[in-house]
Copies of this chain bind each other. A is one copy, B any other.
């Protein structure tokens, strides 16, 4: 709509500067040393919603980091969209690999480089600015509620309670989230599903103290060696996961569905070049698109034990640790999988070591029905601004709470993400394209318009 275009063109630079301010706050939810920053970030989000024209804006305390809520109810008889996002970010390390400080955003080659630029500050903020656009141009076609949390990167442990306690306040017709990516700006896509997650931490203890590797080497189990053997055994030669029962009930797609999925443009040579690898790796019998979308996976996110400093230390360590997470697909329950993992990992441990397994957090997988009116509205909105209908794809990432929305609030979710896989999410030099940012702000009002129209039919 022209009024939107004009308003956005006029306030373009302010929109960007406001986002940069938000990116300067190191709201790292995993690191308690940043608790104050996280609080500060919640306050900033609250202010942005107030300024944009939302009512009843509130920073809601939880047992962990607070949730920011705000709403605009123009007519209870109109449909209501619940916008979800998160203002917390991943830890920035390894810091030395950043070409500019993670919390001092810089614009380079048309991209915003900063931790959180794409995941998810840059994306949820598009909704705040799209909302402002509709408010200031008196064109808001439906009711909007905002729920921006601060614990997505650590498992949204307190969101479930918040949902249960606020069912009334959160009543809506659909959840709208921008926290995923598109294939490319030339090939817009819409996620039809997300993988679930089960994140575990394991501790393997050998001797009760660090030992001299010469005096005791060869006589006592080395926990680092044993941990390596245990991790190695979790994938077989075909890279299938070996945990008994892991694949039970995993939804197998039909040949037709798989064919559709593989229609999405994908250039393996380009993919390898971008990652700097000679060869890809993965579960035998599936394409890369399938491996990252419809198949469950198990990854070592971190491993440590013994002497990791400068030089050499001839120690036989007492303990070795690993952080191991699994991505889950439809019909895999994250709590059941966490238990399966814990049981299996303890079972395969030799008597020469002790093993402790802790479940960090998780979430179940989710699939969006493509015939849902909100999905159609999103598809139409993207077509309107990208001039091309989006390809439906399965996202490999996880937003654990999406399944929760359906369970607790009975709401379907539309995943309208504007990021790119190359945005370095969770990595050094995270970035978000200016074009993606503005395109998102431009597209979102169309979603609300179409959703309102199509719902009333």
Contacts and interface: CB of A to CB of B under 8 A. Distances in A.
Contact of A215 (B206, B211, B292, B305): B292
Given A207-B277, A228-B232, A317 B304 contact: no
A210 interface: yes
Interface residues of A, number: 100
B303 A228 contact: yes
A401 to B, nearest CB: 14
Contact of A282 (B30, B91, B218): B218
A269 interface: no
Interface in A31-83: 31-32
Secondary structure of the A side of the interface? Answer: loop
B302 A323 contact: no
A291 interface: yes
Interface stretch (A5-13, A125-133, A422-430, A435-443): A422-430
A216 B201 CA distance: 20
A187 interface: no
A260 interface: no
Interface string A205-237: 011111111111111111011011101111100
Contacts of A279: 221, 350-352
A298 to B, nearest CB: 8
A90 interface: yes
A104 interface: no
A448 interface: no
A225 B312 contact: no
A312 B307 contact: no
Contacts of A197: 214, 314
Interface string A277-294: 111111100001001100
Closest 8 CB pairs of A and B: A208-B276, A214-B397, A30-B311, A218-B297, A302-B306, A221-B281, A232-B232, A224-B300
Given A153-B313, A228-B300, 15 more contacts: A30-B313, A97-B209, A154-B312, A206-B277, A215-B292, A215-B396, A215-B425, A218-B291, A219-B281, A219-B291, A220-B277, A277-B352, A303-B304, A307-B323, A314-B398
